[in-house]
Chain A
Amino acid sequence: MKPQSVSSVGVNAKALRKDEQRERLLLFGLSFPALLIVLLVIVVPVGWLFWLSLFNDAGALSTYNYSRMLESKSYLRIFKTTFNVSFLTTLICVLIGYPLAYFLSQISRRWAALGLIAVLLPFWTSLLVRTYAWLVVLQRKGLVNQWGIELGWWETPLRLVHNLNGTLIGMAHIMLPFLVLPLYGSMRSIDFDYIKAAANLGANPTKAFWYVFFPLSLPGLLAGMTVVFVLCLGFFVTPAVLGGGKVIMVSMKIETLIDLFFNFGTASALGVVLLVLTLGVLFIAHKLVSLDKVLGSGDGV
């Protein structure tokens, strides 16, 4: 039997260490099937696309696909829209998600568990179904307009969908669990003695919250915001359905370029820029909070 770690004394220490090394490599090899499919499906095709993006239509090596992006107003507008939508969605998520996470962290664990199920259930529900639900609820003759008019809040149906409003409502709804889950986790791990100490030293509840609790919850908030923002950058389904063609995100442009024009060069260049931006945001976030926190928040179970 080969033990995991071996003390370095003894006559056969060297042989044992070698044995251990071999076993570690063998165990490491267990990850190869996973590595193989990731290489096959992600790394090679995406690398290939990157290679393609370096050639112009005539097949010569050039930065045409990239320089065009900087020169053309329409591409710049698409990137601006993507950033705008991502930023606004993140903002809405923070504004409604922070109170929710705070609420859940302040009630008893039993009630909080029930609340968390309400957060997790949409997380598991099909994104397409949720987008469709918003389409139905927000449309001209939808529930919101119907009730708003019946209650006399407004007279003509509001344009709630097939524009930026609908996109933001739908995206905030879909992204909210990604913010609330890491935030709730970090709020629960805050040592409440600090807040008690603040209160004891004469801070009123508002002050104790802003000066003690809020700063301690920032790492969780930042982790959640990063996930939301990054996911928003690559979002496709919800803006495509709820935006009604008025909100064009980068990923939608990529789809059109392939679907209608079969233009892999430009589409790849757009994709590469999107990827770089995504990794850039992740990198900056990693400098501020540990990346494990950011990535680990995906497993909301």
Chain B
Amino acid sequence: MNWFQRPASETQITHGGRLWLYAVGVLVLAFLIIPTLIVIPMSFSESQYLEFPPRVWAVRWYENYFGSVEWMTATWVSIKAAFWTVLVTTPIATMAAYGLYVSNIRAARLVFVLLITPMMVPVVLIAIGVFFAYTRLKLNNTMFGLVLAHSVLALPMALIVISAGLRSYDMNQERVARSLGASRIKAFLVVTLPQIRFSVITGALLAFIVSFDEVIVALFISGGDMSTITRSMFLALRDQIDPTIASISTVMILITTTVFLLAQVLGKSKKVGK
């Protein structure tokens, strides 16, 4: 009996009868990853028209990117904003997740919903609201303003991930530590935090990505020297297809893939630890 005639599941269906499903599944997976990855070889093309496969390989567009003061400034603004967002969001989200989970009062549920509203409100509405408020507060084109807005946008993801981590953690361990004389803060830092660290780290990495990728709010509230890389890319894209963007995209794919793999590796150790 070859593989095609073998049953695929515990019903009567065989692998052969399911070939179409496997084919569709693999095709959709290809649809998900190939278009993005194809930009990488294209960015090494000599031509203005981004050929694939490139007829002449060149690093021309990378020279364009790394040689441009504006692109470099924008890149640093984005990286700095993302780091600051992580530093602001992670402790705030951890505190909120812990406080809401442990206090267990009725208002906690309401506050949780309120804290994840940034995920439900259309971003463009948040963007014009923030822009309007910042104009009054003179916070437009400042790093502080950008980080504040990004922190709020990153909060829901971090909060949800850390809360999920807390729910799968046995709170009795903290109670034991406290009954043995540890203060609440000490019990949290020494017993609870190390155990939920994977979800905290994942939350932090997500916060980084949210800030680093954010376009719409930055479009309104950042500009000039404070323009983020995504804002500059978006404005460039609307006008024409500048091949330099392909090289920037490749660098961005590199950064986000690194962050993603970091999250995967750290997430894996969770199972080993248990």
Contacts and interface: CB of A to CB of B under 8 A. Distances in A.
- The answer on A and B forming one complex is yes
A24 B128 contact: no
Interface residues of B, number: 100
A28 B108 contact: yes
Per CB-CB distance, the 5 closest pairs between chain A and chain B, nearest first, are A30-B99, A103-B25, A45-B129, A234-B122, A251-B124
Interface string B78-111: 0000000000000011011011101111011001
Contact of B33 (A38, A121, A136): A121
A64 interface: no
B125 A28 contact: no
Interface in B133-159: 133, 148-149, 151-152, 155-157, 159
B113 to A, nearest CB: 9
Contacts of B35: 130, 133-134, 137, 173
B103 A27 contact: yes
A27 B102 contact: yes
A103 B21 contact: yes
B interface, by DSSP: helix, strand, loop or mixed? Answer: helix
Given A27-B102, A31-B100, A130-B35, 9 more contacts: A28-B108, A30-B103, A52-B132, A103-B22, A126-B252, A129-B253, A195-B9, A240-B238, A258-B131
B115 A34 contact: yes
B257 to A, nearest CB: 7
B9 A124 contact: no
Contacts of A131: 237
Given A37-B92, A124-B256, A282 B129 contact: no
B139 to A, nearest CB: 10
A278 B121 contact: yes
Contacts of B264: 117
B193 interface: no
B21 A42 contact: no
Most buried by A among B32, B123, B179: B32
Most buried by B among A117, A234, A299: A299
Interface stretch (B56-64, B66-74, B206-214): B206-214
B252 A118 contact: no
26 contacts: A3-B179, A41-B148, A41-B149, A45-B126, A46-B129, A103-B22, A124-B257, A125-B252, A126-B212, A128-B213, A129-B249, A132-B39, A136-B39, A136-B50, A139-B241, A192-B9, A192-B10, A195-B10, A199-B10, A199-B12, A205-B11, A237-B234, A271-B129, A278-B121, A299-B160, A299-B164
B126 A233 contact: no
Contacts of B111: 28, 31, 35
B266 to A, nearest CB: 10
